[in-house]
Protein backbone atom coordinates (compact mmCIF):
# COMPACT_ATOMS: atom_id res chain seq x y z
CA UNK A 1 0.00 0.00 0.00
CA UNK A 2 1.37 3.50 -0.70
CA UNK A 3 1.70 3.93 3.02
CA UNK A 4 3.48 6.35 5.29
CA UNK A 5 6.65 4.50 4.30
CA UNK A 6 6.21 5.32 0.64
CA UNK A 7 9.12 7.43 -0.62
CA UNK A 8 9.33 9.55 -3.75
CA UNK A 9 12.36 7.69 -5.06
CA UNK A 10 10.40 4.45 -5.07
CA UNK A 11 8.24 5.56 -7.97
CA UNK A 12 10.99 7.53 -9.73
CA UNK A 13 13.27 6.18 -12.41
CA UNK A 14 16.99 6.92 -12.20
CA UNK A 15 19.04 7.71 -15.30
CA UNK A 16 22.79 7.18 -15.11
CA UNK A 17 25.09 9.59 -16.93
CA UNK A 18 28.73 8.76 -17.61
CA UNK A 19 29.80 12.37 -18.18
CA UNK A 20 32.84 11.60 -20.29
CA UNK A 21 30.67 9.90 -22.91
CA UNK A 22 27.36 11.74 -22.76
CA UNK A 23 27.58 15.07 -24.63
CA UNK A 24 30.58 17.22 -25.57
CA UNK A 25 29.78 20.93 -25.74
CA UNK A 26 33.15 22.31 -26.85
CA UNK A 27 34.57 19.84 -29.33
CA UNK A 28 37.48 18.58 -27.21
CA UNK A 29 36.19 15.02 -27.54
CA UNK A 30 35.25 14.70 -23.87
CA UNK A 31 31.69 14.97 -22.59
CA UNK A 32 31.08 17.78 -20.08
CA UNK A 33 28.56 19.45 -17.77
CA UNK A 34 27.35 22.07 -20.29
CA UNK A 35 26.73 19.13 -22.63
CA UNK A 36 24.56 17.49 -19.98
CA UNK A 37 22.63 20.73 -19.40
CA UNK A 38 21.91 20.93 -23.14
CA UNK A 39 20.26 17.49 -22.97
CA UNK A 40 18.08 17.99 -19.90
CA UNK A 41 14.98 18.60 -22.00
CA UNK A 42 15.50 15.18 -23.56
CA UNK A 43 15.76 13.59 -20.11
CA UNK A 44 12.65 15.42 -18.96
CA UNK A 45 10.64 13.95 -21.84
CA UNK A 46 11.92 10.52 -20.87
CA UNK A 47 10.27 11.17 -17.52
CA UNK A 48 13.12 10.34 -15.16
CA UNK A 49 13.19 11.80 -11.65
CA UNK A 50 16.84 11.37 -10.76
CA UNK A 51 20.21 11.55 -12.51
CA UNK A 52 23.06 9.49 -11.12
CA UNK A 53 26.11 11.39 -12.28
CA UNK A 54 29.29 9.32 -12.45
CA UNK A 55 32.20 11.30 -10.92
CA UNK A 56 32.78 14.85 -12.15
CA UNK A 57 35.38 15.75 -9.50
CA UNK A 58 39.00 16.76 -10.01
CA UNK A 59 40.94 13.66 -10.99
CA UNK A 60 43.96 12.49 -12.98
CA UNK A 61 41.44 10.13 -14.67
CA UNK A 62 43.38 6.93 -14.13
CA UNK A 63 39.96 5.29 -13.72
CA UNK A 64 37.86 7.98 -15.47
CA UNK A 65 37.17 9.94 -12.31
CA UNK A 66 36.79 7.06 -9.81
CA UNK A 67 40.18 8.31 -8.61
CA UNK A 68 39.42 11.67 -7.01
CA UNK A 69 42.14 14.21 -6.25
CA UNK A 70 39.82 16.89 -4.84
CA UNK A 71 36.30 16.09 -3.64
CA UNK A 72 35.28 19.74 -3.71
CA UNK A 73 36.46 20.72 -7.18
CA UNK A 74 35.13 19.90 -10.66
CA UNK A 75 37.51 18.37 -13.21
CA UNK A 76 38.34 21.19 -15.67
CA UNK A 77 37.52 18.98 -18.67
CA UNK A 78 33.97 18.61 -17.29
CA UNK A 79 33.47 22.30 -16.45
CA UNK A 80 33.37 24.55 -13.40
CA UNK A 81 31.55 24.71 -10.10
CA UNK A 82 29.29 27.34 -11.68
CA UNK A 83 28.41 24.88 -14.44
CA UNK A 84 27.61 22.34 -11.77
CA UNK A 85 25.38 24.72 -9.82
CA UNK A 86 23.59 25.52 -13.06
CA UNK A 87 23.11 21.82 -13.74
CA UNK A 88 21.54 21.32 -10.31
CA UNK A 89 19.23 24.31 -10.81
CA UNK A 90 18.22 23.42 -14.37
CA UNK A 91 17.60 19.81 -13.43
CA UNK A 92 15.55 20.83 -10.42
CA UNK A 93 13.45 23.14 -12.64
CA UNK A 94 12.56 19.99 -14.59
CA UNK A 95 11.76 17.97 -11.51
CA UNK A 96 15.03 16.04 -11.63
CA UNK A 97 17.38 15.53 -8.67
CA UNK A 98 21.12 14.89 -8.99
CA UNK A 99 22.87 12.00 -7.25
CA UNK A 100 26.59 12.50 -6.89
CA UNK A 101 28.93 9.54 -7.05
CA UNK A 102 30.55 9.29 -3.63
CA UNK A 103 33.87 7.47 -4.05
CA UNK A 104 35.19 7.22 -0.52
CA UNK A 105 36.73 3.78 -0.31
CA UNK A 106 39.79 5.32 -1.96
CA UNK A 107 41.15 8.56 -3.39
CA UNK A 108 43.56 9.33 -6.20
CA UNK A 109 47.26 9.15 -5.35
CA UNK A 110 47.22 12.85 -6.30
CA UNK A 111 44.82 13.77 -3.49
CA UNK A 112 46.55 16.18 -1.09
CA UNK A 113 45.89 13.72 1.76
CA UNK A 114 47.86 11.00 0.03
CA UNK A 115 50.64 13.35 -1.08
CA UNK A 116 51.06 14.32 2.55
CA UNK A 117 50.59 10.75 3.83
CA UNK A 118 53.39 9.34 1.72
CA UNK A 119 55.81 12.12 2.62
CA UNK A 120 56.79 10.67 6.02
CA UNK A 121 55.66 8.06 8.53
CA UNK A 122 54.81 10.87 10.95
CA UNK A 123 52.88 12.90 8.36
CA UNK A 124 49.60 14.41 9.53
CA UNK A 125 47.53 12.42 7.03
CA UNK A 126 49.55 9.18 7.21
CA UNK A 127 46.74 7.41 9.02
CA UNK A 128 44.11 8.42 6.43
CA UNK A 129 45.41 5.47 4.40
CA UNK A 130 46.28 1.85 5.09
CA UNK A 131 50.02 1.22 5.54
CA UNK A 132 51.71 -2.02 6.50
CA UNK A 133 55.29 -3.20 6.91
CA UNK A 134 56.70 -5.67 4.42
CA UNK A 135 56.17 -9.31 5.33
CA UNK A 136 58.90 -10.81 7.53
CA UNK A 137 61.64 -11.52 5.02
CA UNK A 138 60.28 -8.90 2.59
CA UNK A 139 57.53 -8.67 0.03
CA UNK A 140 53.84 -7.78 0.19
CA UNK A 141 52.19 -7.84 3.64
CA UNK A 142 49.38 -10.18 2.48
CA UNK A 143 48.44 -11.99 -0.69
CA UNK A 144 45.43 -9.76 -1.31
CA UNK A 145 44.85 -9.09 -5.02
CA UNK A 146 43.64 -5.87 -6.57
CA UNK A 147 40.29 -5.98 -8.38
CA UNK A 148 42.05 -4.57 -11.45
CA UNK A 149 44.72 -7.29 -11.31
CA UNK A 150 48.06 -7.69 -9.52
CA UNK A 151 48.80 -7.26 -5.82
CA UNK A 152 46.63 -4.90 -3.76
CA UNK A 153 49.78 -3.56 -2.07
CA UNK A 154 52.36 -1.17 -3.51
CA UNK A 155 55.68 -0.48 -1.84
CA UNK A 156 56.42 3.14 -1.08
CA UNK A 157 60.19 3.63 -1.28
CA UNK A 158 60.43 6.81 0.74
CA UNK A 159 58.74 5.52 3.88
CA UNK A 160 59.52 1.84 3.51
CA UNK A 161 55.96 0.56 3.88
CA UNK A 162 53.28 -0.79 1.58
CA UNK A 163 49.95 0.97 1.02
CA UNK A 164 46.69 -0.78 0.24
CA UNK A 165 44.81 -0.28 -3.02
CA UNK A 166 41.93 -2.59 -3.86
CA UNK A 167 41.77 -1.00 -7.34
CA UNK A 168 44.66 0.55 -9.30
CA UNK A 169 47.88 1.56 -7.52
CA UNK A 170 46.78 5.11 -8.20
CA UNK A 171 43.67 4.55 -6.04
CA UNK A 172 44.99 4.17 -2.47
CA UNK A 173 42.38 2.87 0.00
CA UNK A 174 41.21 5.20 2.74
CA UNK A 175 41.41 4.07 6.35
CA UNK A 176 37.87 4.26 7.72
CA UNK A 177 39.03 3.21 11.16
CA UNK A 178 40.35 6.75 11.54
CA UNK A 179 37.62 9.05 12.95
CA UNK A 180 39.39 12.14 11.56
CA UNK A 181 39.04 10.74 8.03
CA UNK A 182 35.38 10.00 8.60
CA UNK A 183 34.74 13.52 9.86
CA UNK A 184 36.36 15.00 6.72
CA UNK A 185 34.17 12.84 4.49
CA UNK A 186 30.96 13.85 6.29
CA UNK A 187 31.89 17.51 6.08
CA UNK A 188 32.47 17.16 2.35
CA UNK A 189 29.11 15.38 1.91
CA UNK A 190 27.30 18.15 3.78
CA UNK A 191 28.98 20.74 1.60
CA UNK A 192 27.49 19.08 -1.51
CA UNK A 193 24.09 18.57 0.10
CA UNK A 194 24.02 22.28 0.88
CA UNK A 195 24.61 22.94 -2.83
CA UNK A 196 21.28 21.32 -3.56
CA UNK A 197 22.10 17.81 -4.73
CA UNK A 198 19.42 15.17 -4.16
CA UNK A 199 21.62 12.44 -2.71
CA UNK A 200 24.48 10.03 -3.29
CA UNK A 201 25.36 6.87 -5.12
CA UNK A 202 28.07 5.27 -3.01
CA UNK A 203 30.89 3.54 -4.82
CA UNK A 204 31.91 0.12 -3.41
CA UNK A 205 30.48 1.09 -0.05
CA UNK A 206 30.70 -2.54 1.11
CA UNK A 207 34.51 -2.21 1.14
CA UNK A 208 34.89 0.67 3.60
CA UNK A 209 34.67 -1.58 6.66
CA UNK A 210 37.67 -3.65 5.56
CA UNK A 211 39.85 -5.43 8.07
CA UNK A 212 42.83 -6.39 5.93
CA UNK A 213 44.82 -8.02 8.70
CA UNK A 214 42.09 -10.61 8.96
CA UNK A 215 41.77 -10.89 5.17
CA UNK A 216 38.39 -9.15 5.19
CA UNK A 217 37.62 -6.65 2.42
CA UNK A 218 33.85 -6.64 1.77
CA UNK A 219 31.33 -6.62 4.61
CA UNK A 220 33.82 -5.86 7.35
CA UNK A 221 32.93 -5.90 11.03
CA UNK A 222 32.38 -2.13 11.38
CA UNK A 223 30.73 -1.53 7.99
CA UNK A 224 27.19 -0.87 9.23
CA UNK A 225 28.44 1.18 12.15
CA UNK A 226 30.19 3.52 9.68
CA UNK A 227 27.15 3.80 7.43
CA UNK A 228 24.91 4.57 10.40
CA UNK A 229 27.33 7.22 11.56
CA UNK A 230 27.41 8.72 8.06
CA UNK A 231 23.61 8.76 7.99
CA UNK A 232 23.47 10.56 11.34
CA UNK A 233 26.17 13.06 10.42
CA UNK A 234 24.92 13.88 6.92
CA UNK A 235 21.71 13.00 5.09
CA UNK A 236 19.78 11.47 7.99
CA UNK A 237 16.43 13.13 8.57
CA UNK A 238 16.13 14.21 4.92
CA UNK A 239 14.45 12.33 2.08
CA UNK A 240 17.71 12.17 0.11
CA UNK A 241 17.99 8.99 -1.93
CA UNK A 242 21.17 7.08 -1.12
CA UNK A 243 22.26 4.07 -3.10
CA UNK A 244 24.98 1.73 -1.92
CA UNK A 245 26.94 -0.18 -4.54
CA UNK A 246 27.57 -3.55 -2.92
CA UNK A 247 28.91 -6.41 -5.05
CA UNK A 248 29.03 -8.57 -1.94
CA UNK A 249 25.45 -8.00 -0.79
CA UNK A 250 23.22 -10.93 -0.07
CA UNK A 251 19.49 -10.32 0.43
CA UNK A 252 20.14 -10.60 4.18
CA UNK A 253 22.83 -7.91 4.00
CA UNK A 254 20.52 -5.77 1.85
CA UNK A 255 18.05 -5.65 4.73
CA UNK A 256 20.81 -4.24 6.92
CA UNK A 257 21.74 -1.54 4.40
CA UNK A 258 18.21 -0.55 3.46
CA UNK A 259 15.85 -1.74 6.20
CA UNK A 260 13.48 1.06 7.17
CA UNK A 261 14.55 1.20 10.80
CA UNK A 262 18.26 0.77 10.22
CA UNK A 263 19.22 4.42 9.69
CA UNK A 264 21.48 3.54 6.77
CA UNK A 265 20.70 3.82 3.05
CA UNK A 266 17.65 4.06 0.79
CA UNK A 267 18.60 1.07 -1.33
CA UNK A 268 21.29 -1.32 -2.41
CA UNK A 269 22.74 -1.75 -5.88
CA UNK A 270 23.80 -5.36 -6.05
CA UNK A 271 24.96 -7.61 -8.86
CA UNK A 272 23.96 -11.16 -8.11
CA UNK A 273 21.86 -11.39 -11.28
CA UNK A 274 24.91 -10.17 -13.23
CA UNK A 275 27.65 -12.29 -11.69
CA UNK A 276 25.41 -15.33 -11.74
CA UNK A 277 26.00 -15.35 -15.52
CA UNK A 278 29.79 -15.15 -15.14
CA UNK A 279 32.17 -18.06 -15.42
CA UNK A 280 32.91 -19.75 -12.07
CA UNK A 281 36.68 -19.67 -12.58
CA UNK A 282 37.40 -17.00 -15.16
CA UNK A 283 34.73 -14.48 -14.19
CA UNK A 284 33.48 -12.13 -16.82
CA UNK A 285 36.40 -12.59 -19.22
CA UNK A 286 35.19 -16.05 -20.17
CA UNK A 287 31.60 -15.84 -21.42
CA UNK A 288 29.26 -18.63 -20.42
CA UNK A 289 25.95 -19.60 -22.03
CA UNK A 290 22.94 -17.61 -20.83
CA UNK A 291 20.87 -19.51 -18.23
CA UNK A 292 17.39 -18.07 -17.77
CA UNK A 293 16.30 -20.44 -15.01
CA UNK A 294 19.30 -19.46 -12.92
CA UNK A 295 18.69 -15.76 -13.61
CA UNK A 296 15.08 -16.08 -12.48
CA UNK A 297 16.15 -17.91 -9.34
CA UNK A 298 18.34 -14.95 -8.36
CA UNK A 299 15.71 -12.34 -9.21
CA UNK A 300 13.01 -14.24 -7.32
CA UNK A 301 15.16 -14.67 -4.25
CA UNK A 302 15.74 -10.91 -4.10
CA UNK A 303 12.14 -9.99 -4.83
CA UNK A 304 10.85 -12.25 -2.04
CA UNK A 305 13.53 -11.34 0.50
CA UNK A 306 12.85 -7.61 0.15
CA UNK A 307 9.07 -7.92 -0.08
CA UNK A 308 8.28 -6.26 3.25
CA UNK A 309 11.37 -4.30 4.11
CA UNK A 310 14.49 -3.05 2.36
CA UNK A 311 14.67 -1.70 -1.16
CA UNK A 312 16.56 -2.81 -4.25
CA UNK A 313 17.84 -1.15 -7.40
CA UNK A 314 16.71 -2.67 -10.69
CA UNK A 315 19.17 -2.62 -13.58
CA UNK A 316 20.58 -4.62 -16.46
CA UNK A 317 23.59 -2.44 -17.14
CA UNK A 318 25.80 0.41 -15.95
CA UNK A 319 29.17 1.91 -16.82
CA UNK A 320 31.00 -1.24 -15.67
CA UNK A 321 28.84 -3.72 -17.57
CA UNK A 322 28.12 -4.68 -21.16
CA UNK A 323 25.08 -3.29 -22.95
CA UNK A 324 21.86 -4.92 -21.77
CA UNK A 325 20.52 -5.77 -25.22
CA UNK A 326 23.81 -7.39 -26.23
CA UNK A 327 24.16 -9.33 -23.00
CA UNK A 328 20.63 -10.56 -22.35
CA UNK A 329 18.86 -9.95 -25.66
CA UNK A 330 19.74 -10.24 -29.34
CA UNK A 331 21.38 -7.09 -30.67
CA UNK A 332 21.24 -8.35 -34.25
CA UNK A 333 18.01 -9.96 -35.47
CA UNK A 334 15.75 -8.77 -32.64
CA UNK A 335 17.42 -5.67 -31.26
CA UNK A 336 14.28 -3.56 -30.86
CA UNK A 337 12.04 -6.37 -29.63
CA UNK A 338 14.56 -7.78 -27.17
CA UNK A 339 15.50 -4.33 -25.78
CA UNK A 340 11.81 -3.67 -25.12
CA UNK A 341 11.32 -7.10 -23.60
CA UNK A 342 14.19 -6.56 -21.16
CA UNK A 343 12.85 -3.14 -20.19
CA UNK A 344 9.37 -4.54 -19.60
CA UNK A 345 10.56 -7.38 -17.41
CA UNK A 346 12.75 -5.09 -15.31
CA UNK A 347 10.46 -2.09 -14.86
CA UNK A 348 7.53 -4.06 -13.46
CA UNK A 349 9.66 -5.55 -10.66
CA UNK A 350 9.73 -4.20 -7.13
CA UNK A 351 12.59 -1.70 -6.65
CA UNK A 352 13.80 1.52 -8.26
CA UNK A 353 14.65 1.13 -11.96
CA UNK A 354 17.91 2.48 -13.39
CA UNK A 355 18.40 3.32 -17.05
CA UNK A 356 22.01 3.57 -18.18
CA UNK A 357 22.62 6.21 -20.86
CA UNK A 358 21.88 4.84 -24.33
CA UNK A 359 20.00 1.81 -23.01
CA UNK A 360 16.77 3.67 -23.73
CA UNK A 361 17.59 3.70 -27.45
CA UNK A 362 18.90 0.14 -27.48
CA UNK A 363 22.62 0.90 -27.81
CA UNK A 364 24.74 -2.21 -28.29
CA UNK A 365 28.17 -3.54 -27.41
CA UNK A 366 31.00 -2.29 -29.54
CA UNK A 367 32.86 -4.47 -32.06
CA UNK A 368 36.46 -3.48 -31.29
CA UNK A 369 39.08 -5.59 -33.06
CA UNK A 370 42.33 -4.33 -31.55
CA UNK A 371 43.48 -3.62 -28.00
CA UNK A 372 44.45 -0.11 -29.17
CA UNK A 373 40.77 0.79 -29.32
CA UNK A 374 40.12 0.04 -25.64
CA UNK A 375 40.56 2.71 -22.97
CA UNK A 376 39.44 1.09 -19.71
CA UNK A 377 42.16 0.55 -17.11
CA UNK A 378 40.66 -2.76 -15.99
CA UNK A 379 40.54 -4.09 -19.56
CA UNK A 380 44.08 -2.95 -20.32
CA UNK A 381 45.49 -4.42 -17.10
CA UNK A 382 43.68 -7.72 -17.61
CA UNK A 383 44.89 -7.84 -21.21
CA UNK A 384 48.48 -7.67 -20.03
CA UNK A 385 47.96 -10.26 -17.28
CA UNK A 386 45.89 -12.73 -19.32
CA UNK A 387 48.22 -12.63 -22.30
CA UNK A 388 51.20 -13.18 -20.02
CA UNK A 389 49.33 -16.19 -18.60
CA UNK A 390 48.93 -17.64 -22.10
CA UNK A 391 45.44 -16.55 -23.21
CA UNK A 392 45.41 -15.93 -26.99
CA UNK A 393 44.90 -12.27 -27.96
CA UNK A 394 41.77 -13.01 -30.00
CA UNK A 395 40.14 -14.82 -27.04
CA UNK A 396 40.81 -11.84 -24.83
CA UNK A 397 39.36 -9.38 -27.38
CA UNK A 398 36.27 -11.59 -27.68
CA UNK A 399 35.86 -11.57 -23.90
CA UNK A 400 36.36 -7.80 -23.71
CA UNK A 401 33.81 -7.26 -26.48
CA UNK A 402 31.32 -9.46 -24.65
CA UNK A 403 31.76 -8.19 -21.10
CA UNK A 404 34.33 -5.38 -20.92
CA UNK A 405 33.53 -1.99 -19.42
CA UNK A 406 34.23 0.01 -22.60
CA UNK A 407 31.06 -1.38 -24.18
CA UNK A 408 29.08 1.00 -22.01
CA UNK A 409 31.49 3.90 -22.43
CA UNK A 410 31.36 4.62 -26.14
CA UNK A 411 29.79 7.99 -26.99
CA UNK A 412 26.06 8.48 -26.53
CA UNK A 413 24.44 8.29 -29.95
CA UNK A 414 22.44 11.47 -30.50
CA UNK A 415 22.11 11.60 -34.27
CA UNK A 416 23.46 10.25 -37.55
CA UNK A 417 26.17 12.96 -37.58
CA UNK A 418 29.82 11.87 -37.31
CA UNK A 419 30.55 10.20 -33.93
CA UNK A 420 26.81 10.01 -33.34
CA UNK A 421 26.64 13.76 -32.81
CA UNK A 422 28.45 13.36 -29.48
CA UNK A 423 31.28 15.72 -30.43
CA UNK A 424 32.37 17.93 -33.31
CA UNK A 425 35.95 16.90 -32.55
CA UNK A 426 37.59 13.50 -32.08
CA UNK A 427 35.99 11.47 -29.28
CA UNK A 428 38.23 10.09 -26.52
CA UNK A 429 36.90 6.63 -27.41
CA UNK A 430 35.49 5.62 -30.79
CA UNK A 431 31.76 5.75 -31.34
CA UNK A 432 29.95 2.55 -32.17
CA UNK A 433 29.75 2.37 -35.99
CA UNK A 434 26.02 1.68 -35.72
CA UNK A 435 25.40 5.27 -34.57
CA UNK A 436 24.19 6.15 -38.06
CA UNK A 437 21.10 3.97 -37.50
CA UNK A 438 20.78 3.77 -33.71
CA UNK A 439 20.46 7.27 -32.29
CA UNK A 440 18.18 9.56 -30.31
CA UNK A 441 17.05 11.61 -33.28
CA UNK A 442 15.84 8.55 -35.18
CA UNK A 443 14.24 7.16 -32.01
CA UNK A 444 12.30 10.34 -31.33
CA UNK A 445 10.83 10.18 -34.84
CA UNK A 446 9.64 6.60 -34.43
CA UNK A 447 6.58 5.63 -32.34
CA UNK A 448 7.78 2.04 -32.33
CA UNK A 449 11.23 2.84 -30.98
CA UNK A 450 12.83 1.41 -27.88
CA UNK A 451 12.80 4.97 -26.56
CA UNK A 452 9.02 5.25 -26.89
CA UNK A 453 8.70 2.04 -24.91
CA UNK A 454 10.95 3.32 -22.10
CA UNK A 455 8.97 6.55 -21.88
CA UNK A 456 5.84 4.55 -21.41
CA UNK A 457 7.31 2.37 -18.66
CA UNK A 458 8.78 5.33 -16.79
CA UNK A 459 5.43 7.13 -16.92
CA UNK A 460 3.48 4.04 -15.84
CA UNK A 461 5.53 3.66 -12.67
CA UNK A 462 4.43 7.12 -11.57
CA UNK A 463 0.78 6.32 -12.29
CA UNK A 464 0.40 2.77 -10.99
CA UNK A 465 1.03 2.12 -7.28
CA UNK A 466 0.86 -1.62 -8.03
CA UNK A 467 4.13 -1.31 -9.98
CA UNK A 468 5.83 0.21 -6.97
CA UNK A 469 4.22 -1.53 -4.02
CA UNK A 470 2.46 -4.61 -5.36
CA UNK A 471 3.21 -8.05 -3.91
CA UNK A 472 5.49 -10.06 -6.19
CA UNK A 473 4.76 -13.64 -7.20
CA UNK A 474 6.79 -15.54 -9.78
CA UNK A 475 5.32 -18.19 -12.07
CA UNK A 476 6.68 -20.87 -14.42
CA UNK A 477 9.94 -20.84 -12.43
CA UNK A 478 11.36 -23.92 -14.14
CA UNK A 479 10.45 -22.82 -17.68
CA UNK A 480 13.70 -22.47 -19.66
CA UNK A 481 12.42 -19.85 -22.10
CA UNK A 482 9.82 -17.73 -20.29
CA UNK A 483 9.90 -15.34 -17.35
CA UNK A 484 6.51 -14.67 -15.76
CA UNK A 485 5.31 -12.89 -12.65
CA UNK A 486 2.42 -10.99 -11.12
CA UNK A 487 2.27 -7.90 -8.94
CA UNK A 488 -0.81 -7.48 -6.78
CA UNK A 489 -2.00 -4.53 -4.69
CA UNK A 490 -5.49 -4.63 -3.21
CA UNK A 491 -7.78 -5.61 -6.08
CA UNK A 492 -5.26 -4.60 -8.74
CA UNK A 493 -3.13 -7.15 -10.53
CA UNK A 494 -0.51 -6.89 -13.23
CA UNK A 495 0.74 -9.97 -15.07
CA UNK A 496 4.04 -9.86 -16.94
CA UNK A 497 5.13 -12.64 -19.25
CA UNK A 498 8.15 -12.63 -21.52
CA UNK A 499 10.00 -14.82 -23.97
CA UNK A 500 13.78 -14.46 -23.54
CA UNK A 501 14.65 -16.22 -26.81
CA UNK A 502 14.52 -15.74 -30.57
CA UNK A 503 12.05 -18.57 -31.23
CA UNK A 504 8.32 -18.56 -30.47
CA UNK A 505 7.03 -20.43 -27.45
CA UNK A 506 3.64 -21.58 -26.21
CA UNK A 507 2.81 -22.23 -22.57
CA UNK A 508 -0.05 -23.05 -20.23
CA UNK A 509 -0.69 -20.14 -17.94
CA UNK A 510 -1.32 -20.63 -14.23
CA UNK A 511 -4.59 -19.24 -12.94
CA UNK A 512 -3.12 -16.30 -11.04
CA UNK A 513 -1.56 -15.08 -14.28
CA UNK A 514 -4.86 -15.06 -16.15
CA UNK A 515 -5.54 -11.36 -15.99
CA UNK A 516 -7.96 -9.41 -18.17
CA UNK A 517 -8.18 -5.64 -18.42
CA UNK A 518 -5.83 -3.59 -20.45
CA UNK A 519 -2.49 -3.79 -22.16
CA UNK A 520 0.14 -1.93 -20.14
CA UNK A 521 3.16 -2.78 -22.26
CA UNK A 522 3.69 -4.78 -25.43
CA UNK A 523 6.42 -5.11 -28.04
CA UNK A 524 4.24 -6.78 -30.68
CA UNK A 525 0.47 -6.14 -30.74
CA UNK A 526 -1.17 -4.95 -27.53
CA UNK A 527 -2.70 -7.77 -25.48
CA UNK A 528 -5.47 -6.91 -23.02
CA UNK A 529 -6.12 -10.34 -21.54
CA UNK A 530 -4.07 -13.42 -20.71
CA UNK A 531 -6.04 -16.65 -20.87
CA UNK A 532 -5.27 -20.30 -20.12
CA UNK A 533 -2.61 -20.45 -22.80
CA UNK A 534 -0.23 -18.03 -24.33
CA UNK A 535 1.80 -17.97 -27.52
CA UNK A 536 4.78 -15.64 -27.46
CA UNK A 537 6.71 -14.41 -30.49
CA UNK A 538 10.53 -14.12 -30.38
CA UNK A 539 11.40 -11.87 -27.41
CA UNK A 540 7.76 -10.93 -26.96
CA UNK A 541 6.85 -9.41 -23.59
CA UNK A 542 3.40 -8.40 -22.45
CA UNK A 543 2.15 -6.71 -19.34
CA UNK A 544 -1.57 -6.81 -18.68
CA UNK A 545 -3.33 -4.95 -15.89
CA UNK A 546 -6.70 -5.76 -14.35
CA UNK A 547 -9.10 -2.83 -14.57
O1 LIG B 1 33.08 -0.50 -9.29
C2 LIG B 1 33.40 -1.52 -8.38
C3 LIG B 1 33.92 -2.73 -8.96
O4 LIG B 1 34.26 -3.59 -8.21
C5 LIG B 1 34.04 -2.84 -10.46
O6 LIG B 1 35.25 -2.31 -10.81
C7 LIG B 1 33.86 -4.24 -10.87
O8 LIG B 1 34.42 -5.11 -9.96
C9 LIG B 1 34.48 -4.58 -12.16
O10 LIG B 1 34.05 -3.71 -13.15
C11 LIG B 1 34.08 -5.97 -12.51
O12 LIG B 1 35.09 -6.58 -13.22
C13 LIG B 1 33.13 0.80 -8.87
C14 LIG B 1 32.87 1.71 -10.04
O15 LIG B 1 31.58 1.50 -10.51
C16 LIG B 1 33.94 1.46 -11.08
O17 LIG B 1 33.72 2.19 -12.27
C18 LIG B 1 35.26 1.84 -10.47
O19 LIG B 1 36.29 1.51 -11.36
C20 LIG B 1 35.49 1.13 -9.15
O21 LIG B 1 34.36 1.14 -8.28
C22 LIG B 1 36.61 1.81 -8.39
O23 LIG B 1 36.17 3.05 -7.92
CA1 LIG C 1 34.11 18.80 -23.75
> 292-295: which pairs have CB atoms within 8 A and are 24 or more residues apart?
292/480, 292/481, 292/483, 292/500, 293/477, 293/478, 293/479, 293/480, 295/483
Nearest ligand (C-alpha, residue 75): 2
Measured CA angle at 361 (ends 200, 353), to 5 deg: 35
Distance CA 254, CA 312 (A): 8
SS3 state of residue 336:
helix
CA 451 to chain centre: 19
| Phi-psi region at 276: left, alpha or beta (left = phi > 0; alpha = psi -120 to 50) | alpha
Distance CA 54, CA 39 (A): 16
pTM as predicted: 0.98
Nearest ligand (C-alpha, residue 20): 2
Pocket of ligand 1 (CB under 6 A): 63, 66, 103, 147, 167, 203-204, 247, 284, 319-320, 378, 405
Return the best residue to mutate from 63, 104, 105, 147 for the ligand 1 pocket (most ligand atoms within 8 A of CB). 147
Q: How far is the CA of 366 from the centre of ligand 1 (A)?
A: 20
Which secondary-structure segment (H or E) carries 227?
Answer: helix 223-233
CA distances from 31 to 23, 79, 422 (A): 5, 10, 8
Q: What is the DSSP-derived secondary structure letter of residue 400?
A: H
Distance CA 497, CA 109 (A): 49
Written as tens digits, the pLDDT of the chain (547 aa) is 445 468 999 999 999 999 999 999 999 999 999 999 999 999 999 999 999 999 999 999 999 999 999 999 999 999 999 999 999 999 999 999 999 999 999 999 999 999 999 999 999 999 999 999 999 999 999 999 999 999 999 999 999 999 999 999 999 999 999 999 999 999 999 999 999 999 999 999 999 999 999 999 999 999 999 999 999 999 999 999 999 999 999 999 999 999 999 999 999 999 999 999 888 777 787 778 899 999 999 999 999 999 999 999 999 999 999 999 999 999 999 999 999 999 999 999 999 999 999 999 999 999 999 999 999 999 999 999 999 998 899 989 999 999 999 999 999 999 999 999 999 999 999 999 999 999 999 999 999 999 999 999 999 999 999 999 999 999 999 999 999 999 999 999 999 999 999 999 999 999 999 999 999 999 999 999 999 999 999 999 999 999 7
List, as ranges, residues with CB under 5 A of the ion ligand 2. 24, 26, 28, 30, 32
Query: Angle of helix 335-347 relative to helix 450-463, nearest 10 degrees?
Result: 10
Give nearest CA residue, ligand 1 atom 2.
Answer: 204
Amino acid sequence: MPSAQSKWWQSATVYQIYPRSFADSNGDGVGDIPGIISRLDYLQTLGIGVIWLSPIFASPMDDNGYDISDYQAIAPEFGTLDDFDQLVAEARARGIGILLDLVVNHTSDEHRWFIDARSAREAAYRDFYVWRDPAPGGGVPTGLQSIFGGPAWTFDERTGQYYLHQFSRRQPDLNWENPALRAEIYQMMNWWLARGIAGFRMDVIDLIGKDVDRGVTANGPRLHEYIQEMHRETFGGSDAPTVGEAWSATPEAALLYSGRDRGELSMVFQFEHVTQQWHETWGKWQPKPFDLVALKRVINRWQYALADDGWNSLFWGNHDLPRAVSKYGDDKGFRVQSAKMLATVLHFLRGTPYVYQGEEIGMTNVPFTSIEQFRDIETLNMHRLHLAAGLPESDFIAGANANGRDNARTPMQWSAAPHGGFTTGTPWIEANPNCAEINVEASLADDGSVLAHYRRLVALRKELPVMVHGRYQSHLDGHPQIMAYTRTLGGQRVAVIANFFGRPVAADVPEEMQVAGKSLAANYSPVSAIGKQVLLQPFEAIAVGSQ
